[in-house]
Amino acid sequence: MSKIDIVTINEIKTQTPSIKSLFFEWDKEIDPGQFVMVWIPGVDEVPMSLSHQEEVQGITVRNVGSATEALHEFEEGDKLGIRGPFGRGYSLVSDNVLAVVGGIGGASIRPSIVDLVSKSKNVKCALGAETKEELLFEDELSDLTHLHVATDDGTKGHEGFVTEIIEEMLHDIDCVITCGPEPMMQRTADIAAKKNVPVQASLERYMKCGMGLCDSCSINGYQVCRDGPVFYDDELKKMKEFGKFERDKSGRKVRLC
């Protein structure tokens, strides 16, 4: 088991009605797209991307369960544990990149966009959410990228799924990076494949160890914690469960909505 570093929360920012960012100082180097195991004392340990990797580090959390609910109750000065980093991040070598982001997926994608822009790469971003209030990092992404927005209810941008706007955005794109609901990523990969544009997708699975020991995050012969969480299109094509099924804490296969 890798060492747990105890960090102090020095700032908390509400991003949307259901999402907060918690900021702290942590001296480990991490590649965009890698993840850490976050230990909430007395509650649980869960995998998360670092949404901020600049002078100050941070995680961005949607309130969806007991662990994330506990994080939403944190106050400045509270402490949590960080273990890692783990896994494989994004390969950021292309000059023209399209980022397709849904829901909380911006937490994984944001550091890659910051890195690409710092290297003067051309970045387009398709950002989706259920409503305009839930568009994560919208203002920042508007400053950094050529941003297009879609909301399920039509309160901002295109009315409908974000995948409905990406085909026209693939012109002159060398690579697609994506994170969000898995059916969205599967649809993104299918659309990009028709244009022969390579895709990198960050998958999320239930994890206990983060080190490939428990095998709870396996998908069709791959372990998300060790082989991913970022997978390339040739690997995604081999995953029959991608976009269709995940596994719960007991290992039971559950169909994705």
CA distance 224 to 57: 23
From first to last of the 257 residues of the chain, give the pLDDT tens digit: 578 999 999 999 999 999 999 999 999 999 999 999 999 999 999 999 999 999 899 999 999 889 999 999 999 999 999 999 999 999 999 999 999 999 999 999 999 999 999 999 999 999 999 999 999 999 999 999 999 999 999 999 999 999 999 999 999 999 999 999 999 999 999 999 999 999 999 998 777 677 767 777 888 888 888 999 999 999 999 988 777 766 666 566 777 76
120 SS3 class: coil
Domain residue extents for the chain: 4-86, 96-202
CATH of segment(s) 96-202: 3.40.50.80
* Neighbouring residues of 3: CB distance < 8 A, sequence distance ≥ 6: 83
| Backbone torsions φ then ψ of 160, nearest 5 degrees | 140, -165
pTM of the model: 0.93
Question: Do 4-86 and 96-202 fold alike per CATH?
Answer: no
Pick the CATH number of 4-86 from 3.30.497.10, 3.40.47.10, 2.40.30.10, 3.90.226.10: 2.40.30.10
**Unique residue bearing structure tokens 């942590």:** 26
* Neighbouring residues of 159: CB distance < 8 A, sequence distance ≥ 6: 150, 151, 152, 153
CA distance 244 to 186: 9
pLDDT (0 to 100) of residue 242: 77
Amino acid letter, 170: L
